[in-house]
Amino acid sequence: MNAHSPRIDLDAYFERIGFDGRREASLETLSTLHLLHPQAIPFENLDPLLGRPVRLDPESIQKKLVAAGRGGYCYEHNLLFQSVVDALGFRTRALAARVVWGRAADAGMPPRTHMLLLADLPGGTYLADVGFGGMTLSAPLALEPGRAQETPHGLFRIDALDDAHFLLQTRLEDTWMPVYRFDLEPQFAADFEMANHFVATHPASSFVRNLMVARLGPNTRYGLLNRRLNVYGANRETREIASVAQLRDLLQTRFGIRLPDAAGDVSTAELDAALARLP
């Protein structure tokens, strides 16, 4: 997705996320878009779960996440977000990260399977990432290592591991928890196509074997892993979803997903069968 690409329908995107602010390359606009996007467009992996391709071309992403009322995962979210902010005049760079969230310290170094963005503004450089599932950022973070930064959905910090490598962390209760490692090497479309192929199709990929859905509320995080719903807000709630009918209802209501069958691209029976197989 190139800067100022005529292929991005800004009006449709802004209507999708409920944005009516100033269309300018400012920190205020970036922050507003970053807050609205993950509240309106859910994180979800229904396509890999159903064995369907995940396409990263601009037209496919816009059709799925904007027009069809679906969600997606990091490549789809952040490529869409990049195309929007680039069209507004921002200067962005796409980067790759190694996800360490929920990973044992002795598990070894994971591959680069996550996409994030850097946005260069006159006042500094900011990390933007609207596609990290249950721990998605709701505000851009200044690339200022060691500084704790408050967002509408929690406290985050970027630490410098050395001159070239950084670690994003979040504060949970009294502990800083690692989220992902990244460096500043620019990534290109071919890099994401390669990583996306693994994430969307490889038998070892969690996205092929599990249902993973997330969405932000105004002051709450909602996450669904297979049949387990987690709600993080003023109070924490965890419950198991017993039936396929309840899962379908939850996907449509709590997470705001227009299910694939409603969009005409997969049968109700196919989706229900995939949901029924969940552990």
Convert the pLDDT of each residue in 88-112 to its tens digit.
999 999 999 999 998 877 778 899 9
Tokens (6 digits) for 89? 């005049």
- Domain interval for residue 191: 10-204
Q: Is residue 195 part of a domain?
A: yes
Quote the CA–CA distance of 143 and 166 in Å, as a whole number. 10
Q: Is residue 237 part of a domain?
A: no
Q: What total of structural domains would you count in the chain?
A: 1
What is the model's pLDDT at position 4? 40
User: pTM of the full predicted structure?
Assistant: 0.94
Residues labelled as active-site residues: 74, 114, 129
What is the model's pLDDT at position 3? 40
Give pLDDT tens digits for 57-80. Answer: 999 999 999 999 999 999 999 999
Mean pLDDT of 133-149: 97
Q: Is residue 54 part of a domain?
A: yes
Q: Is residue 60 part of a domain?
A: yes
Question: Which region among 16-30, 100-114, 177-191 has the lowest average model confidence (pLDDT)?
Answer: 100-114
Mean pLDDT of 36-40: 98
Helices of type H across the chain: 10-17, 27-40, 46-49, 58-62, 74-87, 189-201, 206-209, 244-253, 268-276
Query: Of 120 and 263, which is predicted with more confidence?
Result: 120
* pLDDT over 60 (residue 245): yes
Tokens (6 digits) for 103? 């990973």
What is the model's pLDDT at position 226? 98
Q: Is residue 155 part of a domain?
A: yes
Give the CATH number for residue 200. Answer: 3.30.2140.20
Q: Is residue 262 part of a domain?
A: no
Mean pLDDT of 10-34: 98
- Mean pLDDT over the full length of the chain: 93
Q: Is residue 145 part of a domain?
A: yes
* pLDDT over 50 (residue 2): no
What is the model's pLDDT at position 268? 78
Question: Which region among 62-71, 159-168, 217-226, 268-277 has the lowest average model confidence (pLDDT)?
Answer: 268-277
Quote the CA–CA distance of 47 and 261 in Å, as a whole number. 12
